Structures are given as C-alpha cells and as structure tokens.
Amino acid sequence: MRVVVFGGDGFCGWPTALHLSARGHDIVIVDNLARRNADVELEVSSLTPITPISTRLKAWRETSGRRIAYHNFNVAEDFYRLTSLFDDFRPDAVIHFAEQRAAPYSMKSERHKRYTVNNNVAATHNILCAIVESGQDIHVLHLGTMGVYGYGGGAAIPEGYLRVELLAPDGRRVPREILYPADPGSVYHMTKTLDQLLFYYYNKNDRVRVTDLHQGVVWGTNTEETKRDIRLINRFDYDGDYGTVLNRFLMQAAIGYPLTVHGKGGQTRAFIHIRDTVRCIELALLHPPKSGDRVAIYNQMTETHRVEDLAKLVSSLTGATIQHLPNPRNEAPENDLIVEAKSLIELGLKPTRLEAGLLEEVVQVAKQYADRCDRSMIPCTSTWLRQKQDRPDSETLQLRLNAVSSAQGGERPSQYE
Ligand SMILES: NC(=O)c1ccc[n+]([C@@H]2O[C@H](COP(=O)([O-])OP(=O)(O)OC[C@H]3O[C@@H](n4cnc5c(N)ncnc54)[C@H](O)[C@@H]3O)[C@@H](O)[C@H]2O)c1
C-alpha cells in the first residue's frame, strides 16, 4: 500500500514508518520537526541519541534496501502542500500522528494551550479537508487517546460508542448509539475529543473512511526495526513534560533517582508496548472500514495498572526507592479503569504484557545512556491550575524562544508565536 505517515519522525511515527516499510509498503513521512524544536525550547534531549532525520532515512536505505521519502511541512498550516502530496502520491491510507501530544506541555502557559489547540485541531481538519478536495478514497488512521473517555465511572469503557435510550415525548424509549461522552482532563486531551467530532462529521458528510485508535500510554523504546542500526534508534522522553509514567520510572531506576509518584499513585491508566503500537496500526491498516461504514474506533491498549503498583513493581525489580510528590494535575486522586479492547485482538493482535524481561530491557537502554540525562529536567513543573503555576520569568522565556529561533535558522516558527 502507499501510505503517508504524518508525524513520522516522532516516538510512535518513526517505528511505525519502519515497520510498514519493512513489510513492503511504500512510505512517505511528513513531519515539520516540531517535536525536536520542543526539545530545544525545553532545553532537554531524548535520552537516546536520535540522529537527524536525513541520517535516519539513509541508515534505513542502507540496512533494508528500502527508501522512505520525507517532506518537511506543517500539516496544520500548509494546506496546499497536503493537496499536492495527495495528487502526486495518491496514497491508499494516511496515518496521522502529527499532533502536540504531551498533556503537561499543553498546560504550561496560554501560549502552549493555544499552540496545542491550533496545531492539533487544524492538522486533523486539514488532512480531512484535503482528502475531500483530492476526490480520492483515502483511509485515515488517527492516533487518539484513552484520555478522551475520562478516567473511571465504574463500568467498562466501550470502544468509542455507547448504547443509550432517549425518552420520547410519548414515553417511548428510542435506542441510539452515540459517541461515548467526552471527558478531557487537559487541553491536549480536549484536542483529541475535538478530533473525534471532525472525524464524525467528515465520515457522515463525505464518507471519509476513518479508524480512530484510542491509544493507552506507550512504553518501551525500540522495535525490531529500530534495533537494526544505532542510527535508527527511537527517541526516549524522560523529562517532566514529555516523559510518560512507566518509561520515566524505568529510567529513574536506571540512574538511581527515586521513582516520582504524584499524589498517592491511585491513578489507573491503560498501557501498551511500542511493539504492539506498530502491530496494531498495521492491523488497522490492513482491515479498513468499508465505504459508508461509520468511524471505526478501537481501544489500542493491552492492560491497565495503578501508578503506585507500577512504582512498586519497578522498585521490586531494581531496588529503586519511591518518592511521593504533590500532583501537578487536576485529577481524581484515585480512579478505576475497566476497558473493552476486543477489536484489535480479533484482528490478530497478540498482546505484549508487562513482564520483567521487557522492563529490564528498557532499564538497560536507560543505563546505557544515563550520562545524557539532565536530572534537573525530571520533575514535572507544568501545573493544571493557574494559581499553582511556577511561571518562568520573561527573561528565561525569551532565552528559550531565542534558542528555538536560532535552531530554525533565525526564523521563529509561527507555532511558537
Ligand atoms: N506516546 C504516547 O504514549 C501516546 C499515547 C496515546 C496517544 N498518542 C498519540 O500518538 C501520536 C504520536 O505520539 P508520539 O508519542 O509519537 O508523539 P511525538 O511528539 O513523538 O510525535 C509527533 C510527531 O508529529 C510531528 N508534528 C506535530 N505537529 C505537526 C504538524 N503540524 N505538522 C507536521 N508534523 C507535526 C512532530 O514533529 C513529531 O515528530 C499523537 O497524536 C499522540 O497523541 C501517543
């Protein structure tokens, strides 16, 4: 198949592009390197030494004999680059990872909130609108999040849709199936709930075929393909904004830093290993909805865990100590989470469960690059409520913006305005 991977330089997009290329699909990556620029802004780097995208692509050509094309443009802004790409490449499918994906980053300041909304919602809308303009029947696969459902509620969370009964004026009960009520917990999560409505509309009005994958927190770092050559290594985020909970614990254990549990650690979250992420996307690509089908929504996760239990597990494997810190988020101190996730299993997914060997593998990667870790970047400093915010002074903010600006060759990208 011909596939465009939007956001194909990112943590999930890069291994997905390689996985699909290795299986004979013809891949084009579109990425404006916003994620690399966020590293410059935040003054932090991936724990693993990721190489520039041209080096990555060359390494892939040399190790696999296969080419991946690359375009650097902003999906949220360069609409006509999108339409020309669809006209020239005529993709069978597009995979949309190109969004600002960190909840803490989305809550840092009004600028980060506006950037996240403008970037994510416009990127999704531009892709859908360009597909309609192209007149082609292109399947859209989107990476959504389990966070669109909110956390808890006592009953199992279905895959996207909820059966309800409406009460008619004459007392009849009218059955309906509706999108599960959105309950975002951050500005980032809110953009994903807005994406859902965009998909609903373009599917209903223009019959665009869409698969929305509501993904859990991804852990692990490498896949079969990214391990083939050091230049293909995947990114590993550990900082307080982009690092996700389990990878952070594993990395903290590797460098002898106490595991940072926020509050009592009663938050329950859904998880998936990066190797399963790429398999799920492949399965969804190979099993698209038919024309006229409603948006297919799959819960892309393999297990749920309480944060405190994960910390205890990592501590028991590694001897790391646990540190309880005030929770910067505005969320329930504890929640249950029961999730239905049958669709991808029915399509053939064999779930990778959390087990000591895989956890140890991540600890080893983190140990290997421990000297690249800046410990001052580990604490979560972005807060959900304004009064809690420890804002950088204007001089620090300006220095960060200057750093981004010089990384861009002097021109500050509009998403940082
Ligand atoms: N990582 C996780 O744990 C996780 C969990 C659930 C859902 N997701 C979703 O999966 C997707 C990918 O996540 P990730 O972890 O790979 O994030 P990432 O930040 O590593 O990758 C996103 C990529 O998209 C690019 N990008 C962003 N905006 C763009 C734009 N306007 N134009 C072109 N490129 C743009 C970035 O430069 C980056 O390379 C996101 O949409 C995220 O919400 C991720």
pLDDT at 413: 31
Residue 332 CA, chain-centre distance (Å), reads 22
Annotation says 105 is catalytic: no
How many other C-beta atoms lie within 10 A of the C-beta of residue 188? 24
Instruction: Give the separation between CA 359 and CA 314, rounded to whole angstroms.
Output: 8
Q: pLDDT tens digits, residue range 172-228?
A: 999 999 999 999 999 999 999 999 999 999 999 999 999 999 999 999 999 999 999
Strands annotated E in 97-189: 139-145, 161-167, 173-179
Give the model's pLDDT for residue 13.
98
Catalytic residue among 192, 242, 244, 302: 192
Domain extents in the chain: 2-416
Question: Rounded distance, CA 52 to CA 54, Å?
Answer: 6
User: What pLDDT, on the 0 to 100 scale, is given for residue 415?
Assistant: 27
Task: Determine whether the shortest distance from the Cβ of 41 to ligand 1 is under 6 A.
Answer: no
Identify the residue whose tokens are 């950037």: 115
With tokens 């375009």, the residue in question is 71
Neighbours of 383 (CB within 10 A): 19
CA atoms within 13 A on the CB side of 165: 7
The pLDDT score that the predictor gives to residue 386 is 77
Q: What is the pLDDT of residues 135-144, one digit of tens each?
A: 999 999 999 9
215 Cβ below 6 A of ligand 1: yes
E strand or H helix at 360, and its extent? Answer: helix 356-368
For 137, the token pair is: 């029947």
User: What is the largest distance, in Å, between two alpha-carbon atoms of the chain?
Assistant: 70
Round to whole Å and give the CA distance between 390 and 381: 7
Residue in the block written with tokens 């909304």: 117
369 is a catalytic site residue: no
Q: What is the pLDDT of residue 389?
A: 54
pTM summary value? 0.92
Question: For 242-258, what is the HEC assignment?
Answer: CCCHHHHHHHHHHHCCC
pLDDT < 70 regions, the chain: 387-417
User: Which residue out of 48, 116, 145, 268 is catalytically annotated?
Assistant: 145
How remote is the CA of residue 7 from the centroid of ligand 1, in Å?
A: 6
Tokens at 362, concatenated: 């991540």
Question: What b/e string do you get for 26-50 counting C-beta neighbours within 10 Å, with b at 16 or more?
Answer: bbbbbbbbbbbbbbbbbebbbbbeb
CB crowding 205-238: b at 16 or more within 10 Å, else e? eeebbbbbbbbbbbbbbbbebbebeebbbbbbbb
Q: How many residues does the structure list for the chain?
A: 417
Q: Which two tokens stand for residue 201?
A: 């509309």
Residue 202, ligand 1, Cβ within 6 A: no
Q: State the distance from the centre of ligand 1 to the C-alpha of 57, rounded, in angstroms.
A: 19
Instruction: Report the nearest atom of ligand 1 relative to the CA of 237.
Output: 20
Asked about 188 being catalytic, the answer comes back as yes
Nearest one of 169, 181, 269, 277 to 224, comparing CA atoms: 277
CA distance 90 to 84: 10
Q: Under CATH, which number does the domain 2-416 receive?
A: 3.40.50.720
CA dihedral over 362, 368, 372, 377, signed as positive or negative:
positive
- Residue 335 structure tokens: 């929640």
**The Cα angle at residue 105 between residues 102 and 111, in degrees rounded to 5:** 130
- Distance in angstroms (rounded) separating the CA atoms of residues 147 and 244: 14
Catalytic pick among 149, 151, 180, 188: 188
